[in-house]
């Protein structure tokens, strides 16, 4: 015959008393609710703001919560622990209490080693009530002081994501101005190599998804680099790659365009063949910082247009083109459209080279020079399995080629500039002064003439740009007397 233990019940009722006040004044006839194991009841404060109620928990020990409506319509919840000998408890509710705080700290480890750059998220009284987060330091530690609002006690949850993307959750009972400790073991039983780190820039506090990280692995068979994984950065620019083998890798950071920050490889290089190779050398964790630099671009009056053609079977699209100045600084970068076209506008005159985002292939990018008020066009970059090749033709300010396509008259002009289009489709029109400032922008209809008032324009040279549907530009110049 099988015997089963009887369920545990509290040895006696718990006599709970307290009061409800707001800024020192009693709150009369206020409903107060209680929930817990076997507890679901409520009471009302008397004319002096006091209450008293007996609770009968079904468990011998645990936590129950008392809650009431706060002054702003939210819920003010207070938690209490109880045990076998608990016979009474006092819970006082202070509505609209000043904000208070509690501190949580801990450590994240993997295979007995500290795990840096782990994001720890915190919530109060519910795992879904996210209030803040922290990132572990190089020794795997984190510490965070959290505001508790008007709640002076309760349950604090902390969580991290494990290697299977499932949450590991820890909880602790907290009190105001208290400190609790919550530690984590990451990916128990896992056998990964972990590459982790942060993308850093002294002037930018990176947020989630601000940077794309591209990890390339060296293929021993083909003797080339292959894109292994692409991911976006987390808060504070953190990243983590889980690798199944300790091969050799290159890591590249590509910040989003709005940040005006140049891409970079680990090793602080703009070029893949000068980047630092990442290896583990027997370690299970590699922690690195990947710095990115601000763009150095200044405004000018020259443009560059071109096309990237990828002839490989396994293409990577859309490609990005990086523009470097004569001291190898990235001054701008552009994403190709669906047809592979790209464009750089308002560049200062000078010498440049262009590189694509392709890594692991022989590349010998030529240096070229652009002049003021010119368009350096028909620049073709071809990618094949043998390497990256370049072909270009500098057209500059070529009025002869455009004579039958875009007419500007009279030239020189005074208070009115007429522009005639002989195209079969609508085109964008942009006019800039000699400093590169846009003074007029419009759309030209097919076979139309546009009369532009120039009475307020200063005397000097103006550059007229016409862009077709593929954003490829052509240019001519005119003069105001």
- Same fold yes or no, 100-185 and 303-390: yes
Burial tier of 402 (Cβ tally within 10 Å: 0-12, 13-18, 19+): middle
Please state whether the peptide bond connecting residue 230 to the residue before it is cis, i.e. omega within 30 degrees of 0: no
Q: Output the pLDDT for position 302.
A: 82
Q: Which residues of the chain have pLDDT under 70?
A: 1-11, 72, 98-100, 148-153, 176, 316-317, 377, 392-411, 422-424, 434-436, 467-475
Q: Output the pLDDT for position 72.
A: 66
CB 306 within 8 A of CB 377: yes
Supply the DSSP string of 419-434, one letter for each residue: EEE--SS-EEEEEEET
Q: Alpha carbon 176 to chain centroid distance?
A: 33
Q: Output the pLDDT for position 398.
A: 34
| Number of Cα atoms under 13 Å in the Cβ half of residue 11 | 7
**Count of Cβ atoms closer than 10 Å to residue 142 Cβ:** 23
- For domain 100-185, give the CATH number: 2.60.40.10
Q: Alpha carbon 284 to chain centroid distance?
A: 27
Domain spans, the chain? 14-96, 100-185, 193-294, 303-390, 406-480
Which fold, 303-390?
Immunoglobulin-like (2.60.40)
Query: Residues 11-33: pLDDT tens digits?
Result: 579 999 999 998 788 999 999 99
Q: Output the pLDDT for position 134.
A: 95
Q: Specify the pairing of strand 100-110 against strand 184-185.
A: parallel
Give the C-alpha separation, 107 to 105, whole Å: 7
Q: Which two tokens stand for residue 277?
A: 């190779």
**Count of Cβ atoms closer than 10 Å to residue 189 Cβ:** 7
Q: Specify the pairing of strand 14-22 against strand 88-90.
A: parallel
Domain made up of 406-480: CATH architecture: Sandwich (2.60)
Q: Which two tokens stand for residue 3?
A: 């015997």
CA distances from 250 to 226, 233, 272, 274, 329 (A): 10, 16, 8, 10, 20
Q: Output the pLDDT for position 365.
A: 84
CB 390 within 8 A of CB 381: yes
CB 267 within 8 A of CB 283: no
Give the C-alpha separation, 387 to 215, whole Å: 20
Which fold, 193-294?
Immunoglobulin-like (2.60.40)
Q: Specify the pairing of strand 211-219 against strand 224-232.
A: antiparallel
- For domain 14-96, give the CATH number: 2.60.40.10
């Amino acid at each position: 015959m099988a015997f089963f233990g009887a369920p545990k019940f509290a040895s006696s009722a718990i006599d709970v008393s307290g009061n409800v006040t707001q800024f020192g004044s009693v709150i009369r006839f206020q409903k107060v609710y209680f929930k817990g194991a076997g507890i679901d009841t409520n009471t009302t404060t008397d004319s002096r703001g006091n209450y008293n109620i007996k609770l009968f928990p079904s468990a011998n020990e645990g936590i129950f919560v008392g809650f009431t409506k706060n002054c702003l319509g939210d819920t003010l919840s207070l938690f209490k622990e109880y045990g076998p000998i608990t016979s009474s408890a006092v819970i006082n509710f202070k509505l609209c209490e000043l904000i208070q705080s509690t501190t949580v700290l801990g450590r994240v480890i993997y295979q007995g080693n500290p795990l840096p750059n782990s994001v720890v998220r915190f919530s109060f009284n519910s795992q879904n009530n996210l209030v803040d987060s922290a990132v572990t330091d190089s020794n795997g530690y984190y510490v965070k002081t959290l505001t508790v609002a008007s709640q002076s006690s309760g349950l604090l949850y902390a969580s991290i994501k494990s290697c299977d993307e499932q949450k590991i959750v820890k909880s602790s009972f907290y009190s105001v101005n208290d400190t609790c400790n919550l530690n984590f073991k990451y990916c128990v039983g896992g056998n990964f190599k972990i590459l982790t780190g942060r993308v850093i820039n002294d002037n930018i506090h990176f947020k989630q998804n601000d940077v794309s990280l591209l990890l390339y692995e060296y293929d021993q068979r083909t003797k080339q680099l292959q894109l292994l994984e692409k991911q976006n950065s987390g808060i504070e620019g953190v990243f983590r790659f889980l690798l199944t083998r300790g091969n050799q890798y290159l890591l590249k950071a590509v910040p989003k365009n709005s940040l005006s920050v140049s891409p970079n490889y680990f090793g602080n290089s703009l070029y893949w063949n000068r980047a630092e190779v990442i290896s583990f050398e027997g370690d299970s964790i590699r922690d690195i910082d990947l710095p990115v630099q601000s763009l150095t671009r200044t405004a000018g009056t020259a443009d560059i247009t071109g096309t990237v053609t990828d002839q490989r079977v396994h293409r990577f699209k859309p490609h990005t083109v990086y523009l470097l100045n004569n001291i190898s600084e990235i001054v701008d970068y552009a994403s190709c459209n669906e047809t592979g076209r790209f464009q750089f506008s308002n560049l200062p005159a000078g010498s440049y080279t262009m590189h694509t985002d392709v890594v692991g292939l022989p590349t010998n990018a030529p240096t070229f020079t652009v002049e003021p008020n010119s368009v350096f066009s028909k620049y073709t970059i071809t990618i094949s399995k043998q390497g990256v090749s370049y072909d270009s033709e500098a057209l500059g300010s070529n009025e002869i080629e455009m004579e039958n396509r875009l007419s500007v008259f009279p030239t020189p002009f005074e208070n009115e500039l007429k522009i005639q289009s002989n195209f079969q489709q609508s085109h964008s029109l942009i006019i800039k002064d000699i400093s590169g400032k846009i003074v007029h922008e419009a759309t030209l209809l097919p076979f139309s003439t546009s009369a532009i008032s120039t009475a307020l324009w200063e005397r000097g040279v103006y550059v007229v740009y016409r862009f077709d549907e593929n954003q490829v530009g052509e240019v001519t110049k005119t003069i105001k007397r």
